[in-house]
Chain A
Amino acid sequence: MIYARDAFAYIDPGTGSFVLQVIIGALLGVAFAIKSFWKNVKAFFAKLLSKG
């Protein structure tokens, strides 16, 4: 496990935990990106409207 060794981790992250985390991380990363995108869109229109 390359990161564990490089980072000098001393606990076993566990293969199953590792793989699952990467999958969930990918899903949540996308959700996170969509959320940020909508936040920006909303902020843009809010700004536009307040200007108007």
Chain B
Amino acid sequence: MIVRNGNVASSFRDPSGSLFFQGGSIYRRVDFRYKENYDHSINSGLYKTLVDSGLLVPHDDVGADHDKTHGAYKVLKPELIPFISYPYEWCFSQLKDAALTTLKIQKKALRFGMTLKDSSAYNVQFLKGQPIFIDSLSFEKYREGQPWVAYRQFCQHFLAPLALMSYDDVRLSQLFRVYIDGIPLDLASSLLPSRTQFRFSLLSHIHLHAKSQKYFGDKTVNTSGHKMTRRGLLGLIGSLESAVEKLKWQPRDGEWTDYYESTNYSPEALRQKKQLVAEFLDKTNPKMVWDLGANTGLFSRIASDRGIQTIAFDIDPAAVEKNYRECRLKEEANILPLLLDLTNPSPDIGWQNQERMSILKRGPADTVLALALIHHLAISNNLPFEKIADFFSKICHWLLIEFVPKSDSQVQRLLSSREDIFPDYTQQFFESQFGEYFTIEGSSKIKDSQRTLYLMQKR
């Protein structure tokens, strides 16, 4: 991650405090106006309970003097999240787990006399394979009668996108890239099939919620007389929880299988390829690996099993889903599967295009794996080698890349439906073009195949 000293651009909405970078570390400045709530979260035991149960990122209190420019009440140093990810990069189960984590925290907070004042999906990150809440300033004292101020945000950030992914199409998670404060409920309501109106939770929290927003949109209402009992609030949280739990997504038959079976490897070639990847990884000794086109993470795990932080990117929501479920099942701490279209990677979005970082800003990785990928970029997406090499040189120091020649049946398959306009798609030209950006440190032919694995270092 590119880290510069100064304030974090996404940290401006909540006046309780703000985030800033200093000397490669991230700090949270707590403003005096948040003093009472902060003290309560610590003294009531809420902070400790949440940290002990792995729901909240732990922090060290480094003393208010740490921030000399602002009169801060406290300065906290939270544990660093190695890779920040966003809801439009998550698969269905990741968003669902983030939603349930948020509700679990809200229930615990109420037990300690506090409540969440926001429920943004961006407050959840993945650390050591688990969803975790990162904003320790999101809690405020709960007063009897007070409704949940973050109810609307929860429905927009979690319930609506999950319902759309479950009932309509899993790709609708991409609406997050347009709507930074979650999916507008009137949009969700119009896109969801009418049968969702027969489920009380979706009828109330999405359809009627959208209607109510529209009805009261231009009215001024004195809401001070409306109270909500604690029991009502607990009922509401319980209802949201069961609504989220009931939402499911299962890829269609066939999408789950044949990921590696349909590739061009004999068992011996696959074994050799794995061994080569392991050798190259040991040679480069990375701390952070990005596996591009990771599928369900077969090769990513060669890195993550060595204790290396590994981000397994794939364009296919079913592959990311399968990979994530495997991570949860095996309690893997070093691998994070994420959804990414390399031909249109996550951009900088939000206020001044600075709130959510592009993939480029979150790099470079020490090592990038680009296995069985080049033909998809060069042929399916008409990208010249030079442009691919240029992009890779921006996101890594070391590149482990597999060249798949035209004679390979996978390339032939891509060319079967279109004219071959790629006279330059040769191994020699590949080497010369990548040679402009990288030095080739090693290469090995993969047995029983026509493919070659290269290890390259950025110039």
Contacts and interface: CB of A to CB of B under 8 A. Distances in A.
The answer on A and B forming one complex is: yes
Given A10-B16, A18-B147, A24 B204 contact: yes
Interface string B189-225: 0000000000000001100110011111101110110
Given A11-B117, A22-B226, A29-B229, A16 B150 contact: no
A31 B242 CA distance: 14
B149 interface: yes
Given A2-B224, A18-B147, A20-B212, A10 B231 contact: no
B48 interface: no
B14 interface: yes
Given A7-B117, A13-B152, A17-B151, A25 B221 contact: no
Interface residues of A, number: 30
Contact of B15 (A1, A10, A12, A27): A10
Nearest to B147: A21
Contacts of A2: 223-224
A15 B209 CA distance: 11
Interface string B319-348: 000000000000000000000000000000
A38 interface: no
B360 interface: no
A13 B37 contact: no
Contact of B16 (A1, A8, A16, A18): A8
A3 B146 contact: yes
Contacts of B215: 16
Nearest to B142: A7
B152 to A, nearest CB: 4
B153 interface: yes
Contacts, number: 126
A15 B217 CA distance: 7
Contacts of A8: 16, 33-34, 37, 117, 140
A27 B203 CA distance: 14
B228 interface: yes
A11 B150 contact: yes
Nearest to A24: B204
A27 B234 CA distance: 12
Given A1-B223, A9-B117, A14 B229 contact: no
B238 interface: yes
Contact of A32 (B141, B227, B238): B238
A21 B204 CA distance: 9
24 contacts: A2-B224, A3-B147, A7-B141, A8-B37, A11-B150, A13-B152, A15-B220, A15-B221, A16-B212, A16-B213, A17-B151, A17-B155, A18-B147, A18-B223, A18-B226, A19-B216, A20-B208, A21-B148, A22-B227, A25-B228, A27-B235, A29-B228, A29-B229, A29-B235
Interface of A: 1-4, 6-22, 24-29, 31-33
